[in-house]
Structure 1
Amino acid sequence: MENQPEIVQKALGFAQQGWEIALKWLTSPAAWSQFAILVVAFLIALVATRKITPIVTRILTPAEDQENIIARARRFALMFLPLLLPLLAYALTGLGEQITRSVFGSGAVIAFGKRVFMFLAARILVRDIIKDGFLRLLGRYILIPIAALYALGLLDLASLHLTETRVGVGNISFSVMSLIRGLIAGSLLFWLGRWSNDQSAAYIGKQEELRPATRELAMKAAEISIFGVAFLLLMNILGINLSTLAVLGGAIGVGLGFGLQKIASNFISGVILLLEGQATVGDYVELDGGEAGTIVKMTARAAILESFDGRWIVVPNEDFITTRVVNYSDSGSANRYEAPFSVSYNTDINAVPAIIEAAVAKHPDVLDEPYPPDCELRGFGDSGIDFAVEFWVNGIDDGANKYTSDVLFLVWNALRDNGIEIPYPHRVVEFKGTPPQV
């Protein structure tokens, strides 16, 4: 055994101690009485759980159509019902421990049983209650091993060993225990930050009285505040003095000034866009570069446009500040379009505007404000007289809405009903000399 590695020697030593403790318990009347108390406590907890569970379920289960805060709290409490058995057994075992310590002066076996019940509770919590994938991962690889060490009575020893083991990075050294503590705390803090950010974003998104740009700005401010507080709490838990980060902050500032100019510019441009509100989620915009679509999302770096053919276009926020942007949805969504057409030279053109304006005005989406339909003479073409009817609608003439197509149908039907001919090209061919023989 002396030739084995140190870790193997320690493991064999713990196994030897465990075997000696087990033999001692097997030959001790006090230990057998404590085993009996553990079994009785578990059986009582099992029977009580089977009796209590239906009653508690009936009390805590709300109606299916209830969605208020009390109903959500009752559903949340109902999730923890599987913990009733191990926690009730733990409580009953605690009462038995007081009895055995007063009678036998010892309670090691029953204390071990209590820790086993806590391990079972941790296992049920991770397996049956926690639904979030990240929290379940933490529970599986952190909570359950800690509960197992606690049940075996090795948690203090493992904690001491991890505290004494130190790792160094340059002139800075940390204990393994502090790194593990920081990892756990950081994971929980940033999970909580993500959850809080989702809840705050959902709440702010429901405030219909706020402008869309104001809601987006409030969401970004809440996100920065939540994760900023999480970072400060993590630094405090790790015991890191924030003044020591001044040099690192200066280096990051230099990096932003030289290598990350575009990222910083896009971030500041995004804040300006949210403050001014000249382009926000839901607006249909067209940029100088030809990008056009509805803004479906605005991030810290870019805006995402969705075109009518289903493509997503990522446009840096800086482009909205430094280039010309046409916003078809700003200051109201009414837009003007026109539908060109031609009539024959044999037509009484004085009657055409009234006929076309009356026909187009029947379209349910054509507006009377700011202007009603207006038919204008545009010119005299090679084959006919050119007209165009201007009309105003709410929305964009593309995607689900095909206003120009509908108006052209109305124009065609109106001209046909009034006997007005839509011309087609005519060509006169002159032959010099002898005409060709057919």
Structure 2
Amino acid sequence: MEQQSELISKALGWLDQASDIAAGWLLSPAAWSQFALLVMAYLAARLVTARLLPSLRRLLDPAETQSLLATARRFGLRFLPLLLPLAAYALTAMGEQVTRQLFGSGEVIAFGKRVFLFLAARIFVRDVLTDSFLKLLGKYVLIPVAALYMFGILEVITAQLDQTIVALGNIRFSVMALLRGVIAGGLLFWLGSWSNRTSAGYIKAQEELRPATRELAVKAIEVAIFGAAFLLLMSIMGIDLTAVAVLGGALGVGIGLGLQQIAANFISGIILLLEGQTTVGDYVQLDGGEAGIIVKMTARACVLETFDGKWIVVPNEHFITTRVVNYSDQGSANRYEAAFSVAYETDINRIPEIIEAAVGALPFVLQAPDGPDCELRGFGESSVDFAVEYWVSGIDDGKNKYASPVLFAIWNALKAEGIEMPYPRRVVEMRNV
């Protein structure tokens, strides 16, 4: 209660002081001359802005190109609404210097200068900023700070916040340091996220790099950006970095005792990215039965997408400690086979030539490393069993369907030659009917 009454008394004192200053300005001839200078500075700023804006728009308006210079010029166009308040601020600052040298006072014109700066802050938040987080930060941080500065009480409030201490156990913070840390942390981690997205997009666009190299570079830059942001935030908040070192040691002990699997998966992820034997886009099958296309590789796990649309999250450690079958290996060919049977009455010596020609005519069947190969597999109960092996560039599922066209080709080739594909036949003997 005592602290609240003290704040109320201070606020009332500020109001009384402000009313006295306003009354003095209204009755002072020097104040009226400064008001006149303010009006002249504003009118001169409008005149300068009206002359400069068309030329600046023509200079900054780029052609329909996507070059870096054109992007920078489009970015510069967004700042043109700030020209009027900043020009008024600059002219007012020059007028303030003149009045202080001639008359020894310039409070009115100094207040007007701060008003123009406040208007510039409002226009900056309203018209220049486009990111939702930055708009929120400008609305609730930049504009209030500019308003306090305009009324000349920013230093008083910051001093009061510096003296107000918040205790969390043995750790003591001033309210000002806490607010500074929250604002700086928000800005730093927004900047880190933006830098990470920009750098990741640029790296992933470099097609000459292997996919694994691109993923490793993206992860390394992400760790470096957010690590630097964290250390810079600790420095801004005034936290001794030796405490961070102690915390890192404690975290290392925690990893050694309770987070072994997370640490193992993280190291396994780095090994996978360095080796490059398994990367995004590969179709893999693990010993545990998990199979799918790798669509994402994170620091902890790989995400497999099955051909029926399901996502399987597989820890990175499984790719290191178990056997992994990689069907893709960055686009290598795969061999498949299709089984079929013919009747015993068939001249089986003709079958390989007929089937190899029919399967080899399919557009997706490769002739290297080997063309179609029809093999005799055995003599069944009611048929002679064959299988044809063929090579294709891809996986037989999902968007690729190789087995079905191959079986259609076998059926049509046998039918065209009049060769029967038998079905089981039984002789039934009836006794004591």
Report the TM range for the smaller structure's normalisation.
over 0.9
Residue in structure 1 matched with residue 90 of structure 2 by the alignment: 91
Residue in structure 1 matched with residue 99 of structure 2 by the alignment: 100
For residue 166 of structure 2, give the secondary structure of its aligned residue in structure 1: strand
Deviation of residue 270 (structure 1)? 0.7
**Counterpart-to-counterpart distance in 1, 2:381 and 2:19:** 109
Deviates more, 1:142-151 or 1:420-429: 420-429
Residue in structure 1 matched with residue 8 of structure 2 by the alignment: 8
For residue 153 of structure 1, give the secondary structure of its aligned residue in structure 2: coil
CA RMSD of superposed structures (Å): 1.9
Structure 1's 331 and 208: CA in aligned 2 closer, same or farther, altered over 3 A? closer
**Counterpart-to-counterpart distance in 2, 1:118 and 1:214:** 48
For residue 399 of structure 1, give the secondary structure of its aligned residue in structure 2: coil
**Counterpart-to-counterpart distance in 2, 1:188 and 1:303:** 31
Residue in structure 1 matched with residue 135 of structure 2 by the alignment: 136
Residues 298-337 of structure 1: matches in 2 within 5 Å?
A: 298-330=297-329, 332-337=331-336
2:88–2:116 contact (8 Å) kept in structure 1: yes
**Counterpart-to-counterpart distance in 2, 1:296 and 1:146:** 46
For residue 302 of structure 2, give the secondary structure of its aligned residue in structure 1: strand
TM-score by length of 1: 0.94
For residue 363 of structure 2, give the secondary structure of its aligned residue in structure 1: coil
For residue 347 of structure 1, give the secondary structure of its aligned residue in structure 2: coil
For residue 168 of structure 1, give the secondary structure of its aligned residue in structure 2: strand
**Counterpart-to-counterpart distance in 2, 1:81 and 1:3:** 46
For residue 338 of structure 1, give the secondary structure of its aligned residue in structure 2: strand
2:118–2:147 contact (8 Å) kept in structure 1: yes
For residue 387 of structure 1, give the secondary structure of its aligned residue in structure 2: strand
For structure 1, the 5+ residue unaligned runs are none
Give 2:367's aligned amino acid.
D
Structure 1's 97 and 410: CA in aligned 2 closer, same or farther, altered over 3 A? same
Deviation of residue 87 (structure 1)? 0.8
Q: Report percent identity of matched pairs.
A: 68
**Counterpart-to-counterpart distance in 2, 1:68 and 1:425:** 71
Structure 1's 339 and 3: CA in aligned 2 closer, same or farther, altered over 3 A? closer
Give 1:27's aligned amino acid.
L
Deviation of residue 202 (structure 1)? 2.1
Deviation of residue 385 (structure 1)? 1.9
For residue 62 of structure 1, give the secondary structure of its aligned residue in structure 2: coil
2:163–2:174 contact (8 Å) kept in structure 1: yes
For structure 2, the 5+ residue unaligned runs are none
**Counterpart-to-counterpart distance in 2, 1:152 and 1:97:** 17
Cα distance per residue 1:352-405 (max 9 Å; x no partner): 111111111111111111110111112222332221111101110001100111
For residue 336 of structure 1, give the secondary structure of its aligned residue in structure 2: strand
Deviation of residue 204 (structure 1)? 2.0
Dislocated runs of 4+, deviation >6 Å: none
Cα distance per residue 1:164-219 (max 9 Å; x no partner): 11222333322222222222222222222222222222222223222211221122
Tell whether 2:270 aligns with 1:261.
no
Residue in structure 2 matched with residue 36 of structure 1 by the alignment: 36
2:282–2:330 contact (8 Å) kept in structure 1: no
Residue in structure 1 matched with residue 366 of structure 2 by the alignment: 367
Give 1:101's aligned amino acid.
R
Residue in structure 2 matched with residue 57 of structure 1 by the alignment: 57
For residue 374 of structure 2, give the secondary structure of its aligned residue in structure 1: strand
For residue 348 of structure 2, give the secondary structure of its aligned residue in structure 1: coil
2:331–2:394 contact (8 Å) kept in structure 1: no
Tell whether 2:282 aligns with 1:283.
yes
Deviation of residue 63 (structure 1)? 1.4
Tell whether 2:359 aligns with 1:344.
no
Residues 374-385 of structure 1: matches in 2 within 5 Å?
A: 374-385=373-384
Give 2:19's aligned amino acid.
W
Deviation of residue 407 (structure 1)? 0.9
Residue in structure 2 matched with residue 20 of structure 1 by the alignment: 20
For residue 5 of structure 1, give the secondary structure of its aligned residue in structure 2: helix
Structure 1's 16 and 63: CA in aligned 2 closer, same or farther, altered over 3 A? same
Deviation of residue 124 (structure 1)? 1.4
Cα distance per residue 1:98-128 (max 9 Å; x no partner): 3333443321111111111111111111122
Structure 1's 286 and 3: CA in aligned 2 closer, same or farther, altered over 3 A? closer
